[in-house]
Amino acid sequence: MFANISSFFKSITFIDYIFFFSVIFLIILVVSLIYFIKINEEIIETTDKLEDADNLKEIVNNLKATNPKPVSFTPYEKEQEDRAIISYDELLSNTGEYELNYVNEEVKDDVTIKKVDLNNIANQNMQIEINNKEVPLFSLKREEQFLKALKELQKTLN
């Protein structure tokens, strides 16, 4: 019997050894992969199920009852907030309350030019007006001229 085993190992080449060990390695890999998949399915199933729905409601109620923590600034953010002309809180609180006063208003080439009254810059505006009027930035003729100028510039640069 030992003679047959020894003759068998003598007759196997190096390629046969590589093939044999690679098959063994793949079998071990597949078995371990199946094992890990089974473990993960059990974990996912247990985390998806809620045992006590009342406890969840209590947690939500506690979160609603507690006040949110104030934002903690880094030293750089604190310095920027202190040096700012208007702070973020002031900006949020004053949104839409003020309107600029203009001395006169001119329209030149589809552009409205307004001169601000520096003596009386702003007044309170409690009513926010929404203007849905479309304002074209360029007229079509100007846009075509602009595109031609860009093409000429590109040609001169090449």
Same domain, 105 and 53: no
* pLDDT for position 156: 85
* pLDDT for position 23: 95
Tell me which of 17, 41, 65 is where a domain ends.
Answer: 65
Tell me whether residue 118 is in a domain. yes
DSSP annotation string for 11-37:
H--HHHHHHHHHHHHHHHHHHHHHHHH
Same domain, 152 and 80: yes
In the chain, the number of structural domains is 2
Q: Structural domain of residue 45, as residue ranges?
A: 2-65
Summarised one tens digit per residue, pLDDT across range 12-24 is 888 988 999 999 9
Six token digits for residue 15: 């390629």
Tell me whether residue 70 is in a domain. no
Element of type H or E holding 2: helix 2-11
Least confident of 48-52, 102-106, 116-120: 48-52
Q: How much is the mean pLDDT over the chain?
A: 77
pTM greater than 0.85 (yes/no): no
Tell me whether residue 125 is in a domain. yes
Summarised one tens digit per residue, pLDDT across range 46-95 is 444 555 656 777 777 777 888 777 778 888 888 887 777 776 667 666 66
Same domain, 36 and 90: no
* pLDDT for position 48: 47
* pLDDT for position 59: 76
Tell me whether residue 84 is in a domain. yes
Same domain, 106 and 143: yes
State what percent of residues in the chain have pLDDT above 90.
Answer: 10
State what percent of residues in the chain have pLDDT above 70.
Answer: 73
Q: For residue 101, count CB atoms less than 10 angstroms from its CB and return exposed for 0-12, middle for 13-18, buried for 19 or more.
A: middle
Same domain, 53 and 84: no
Same domain, 136 and 94: yes
Same domain, 148 and 122: yes
Tell me whether residue 34 is in a domain. yes
Please give the average per-residue pLDDT across 6-31, as a whole number. 90
The more confidently predicted of residues 48 and 10 is 10
Please give the average per-residue pLDDT across 117-132, as a whole number. 65
Please report which confidence band the pLDDT of residue 110 belongs to, taking 50, 70 and 90 as the band edges. Answer: confident
Same domain, 84 and 146: yes
Same domain, 21 and 79: no
